[in-house]
A and B are shown apart, each in its own frame.
Chain A
Amino acid sequence: MKTKTQKIALSGILGAQALALSFIENLLPAMPFLPPGVKLGLSNIVTMFTAGTMGFFPALAVTLIKSLFVLLTRGVTAFFMSFGGGFLSTVAMCLMIKLVKDKSGFVGVAVVSAICHNIGQLAVSIIVTKTTAFVYYAPVLLLSGVVMGIITGIILKAVMPLLMKQSKFFIK
């Protein structure tokens, strides 16, 4: 990482990519075998890359860019759902990367951050509705976190060389 400007430019590009991924994900038809509210979490791939190569604050910026787009398009409730999950998962993935280091692979980091994303959303939904009934949904959300985490972890490993190449374009 050379200058602040280069860092900001790269964060912006990564934010746009996270945004594009979550937009594409919304275009996919709802899969009938998936429980309601369960999503792939493709933009998590970009957030994980940002957390791994640039650190906590750029990753948080990417999450915030994504959530602000949700605020514009889907309203305040959706924003808190998005940012609640995004914030907790960003914190979790940074802790995983810093503390656990290479004891854990891409899949491990992705699974933990996906689960934390779901826990964050669960917490926000409990606060919004003032009902604890959501706890009943926790097993489903944990399971989807594991499955989606494994999928996004594998994709991240696969696109890593391309993302690195892109970073080098900005930071020479």
Chain B
Amino acid sequence: MERKLITKNDILLIVVIILIIGAGFLLKSFSSSQLVAEVYYDGKIVETVNLTEKEEKKIITGENDSVVVVAEDGKIYFEKSDCPDKVCIKSGELHQNGDFASCLPEKVVIKVSGAKKGNEPDAIVY
């Protein structure tokens, strides 16, 4: 396998990818006024927590109810899980729009996003 270490094409490729990443982070940072955390188990929402209003909740979910998710002080995090590698707990506290943590073995996902207004109209004009 004779090959150079790096070519002009490689540098071009890396620059393009970094631009895409920059755009992605920019999109993520558009924060909304109300932050809402959604806790999913097996693809379904089990709990919604309003972080802006500093709602406090302890959510028990997971395969054998072995996962504990805690919401307090405008933050949400995995407190306990029976999974082997604890990537979920190491993800730490989530408090920004687009923040996200998961426990794959237990099929639990936490996602923070801007609040959806639901069916409320944007404005009413008489």
Contacts and interface: CB of A to CB of B under 8 A. Distances in A.
A129 B84 contact: no
Interface string A130-168: 110110111100110110001001100100100000000
Interface residues of A, number: 44
Given A77-B105, A111-B13, A146-B18, A129 B90 contact: no
A68 to B, nearest CB: 17
B85 to A, nearest CB: 7
Contacts of B25: 139
Contacts of B98: 136
A137 to B, nearest CB: 6
Contacts of B104: 77-78, 81, 125, 128-129
A127 to B, nearest CB: 10
Given A142-B17, A153-B6, A131 B109 contact: yes
Contacts, number: 118
Interface stretch (A8-16, A17-25, A100-108): A100-108
A52 interface: yes
Chain A: interface secondary structure? helix
A125 B5 CA distance: 33
A30 interface: yes
B100 A134 contact: yes
B42 interface: yes
A108 B87 contact: no
B10 A129 contact: no
Given A75-B84, A112-B13, A139-B25, A154 B5 contact: yes
B4 interface: yes
A160 B4 CA distance: 12
A106 B90 contact: no
Among B5, B9, B40, residue most surrounded by chain A Cβ atoms (within 10 Å): B5
Contacts of A138: 24
7 contacts: A77-B104, A100-B9, A108-B7, A130-B107, A131-B102, A134-B109, A142-B20
Interface of B: 1-7, 9-10, 13-14, 17-18, 20-21, 24-25, 28, 38, 40, 42-44, 84-85, 87, 90-92, 98-102, 104-105, 107-109, 111
Given A131-B43, A134-B109, 17 more contacts: A37-B87, A75-B105, A77-B104, A81-B104, A100-B9, A102-B2, A104-B7, A104-B10, A106-B3, A107-B14, A128-B104, A130-B43, A136-B111, A138-B24, A142-B21, A143-B21, A145-B17
Q: Which A-B residue pairs are the 5 nearest by beta carbons? A: A130-B43, A108-B10, A139-B24, A52-B1, A133-B111
